[in-house]
Amino acid sequence: MIAQEEFAKAFILFLVRENIVLFSRPILRAINDHACKQLVSMIMDYMIMHWDDIEELKIAIKNDHDLNGRLPNDVGSAMELLRYEKIGRWESNNWVWAEDPKYDTSALQISDGKKDRRKQDALYVRVGPDGRVCSTPSTISEDEMHNELERACRHKSFVEAILDGKSSSHRYDKAMAALKILFG
């Protein structure tokens, strides 16, 4: 999970290099914020479009078709949370929404630190307020560890491809266009 965050940091710096995001104090803060990098990782997962079997691929293609050019809710929410709730609030903390946005639950949980707590559980012994052990790294299953390692490898390949100018897909183009609008 730490490697995934580092590849997400590389992707943010790629966005700076491509003039999609201007390098600023809030962007520097984002590349050091675990939740921000985990939201970026969620966006990267969408662009990577991973599947384990042909049925998963068929479902992904159908879902993309059914969205009719829109981003999935989780990815759109991850982008908006990153842009407005994280970076936007660091740029100016003198604003509020007229209506609370309806963010996707999974993206909101990442933004609120749930994934980072899971990462901490994989690394450290967590002690509760009463002094009892609440969690140890042994609570992380071998399957979960394996899945996160595979995800990190996909992120590495993705970052290498975009830095070599070799990554382009419908999802990549759609996500990059959305990021340009959000950060423009």
Mean pLDDT of 79-83: 96
Cα separation, 60 vs 63, in Å, equals: 5
Residue 31: C-alpha distances to residues 15, 19, 22, 94, 149 (Å): 12, 16, 13, 23, 21
136 HSE (CA, 13 A, CB side): 3
Cα separation, 138 vs 121, in Å, equals: 9
In tens, the pLDDT along 97-119 reads 778 889 999 999 999 999 998 89
The pLDDT confidence band at residue 38, using thresholds 50, 70 and 90, is very high
Q: Is the pLDDT reported for residue 93 higher than 80?
A: no
Given a contact cutoff of 8 angstroms between Cβ atoms, the answer to whether 44 and 155 are in contact is: yes
User: What is the residue extent of each domain of the chain?
Assistant: 2-183
**pLDDT value, residue 113:** 92
Q: Is the pLDDT reported for residue 78 higher than 90?
A: yes
Find the angle CA(37)-CA(42)-CA(46) to the nearest 5 degrees.
140
The rounded mean pLDDT for the chain is 93
**pLDDT value, residue 46:** 96
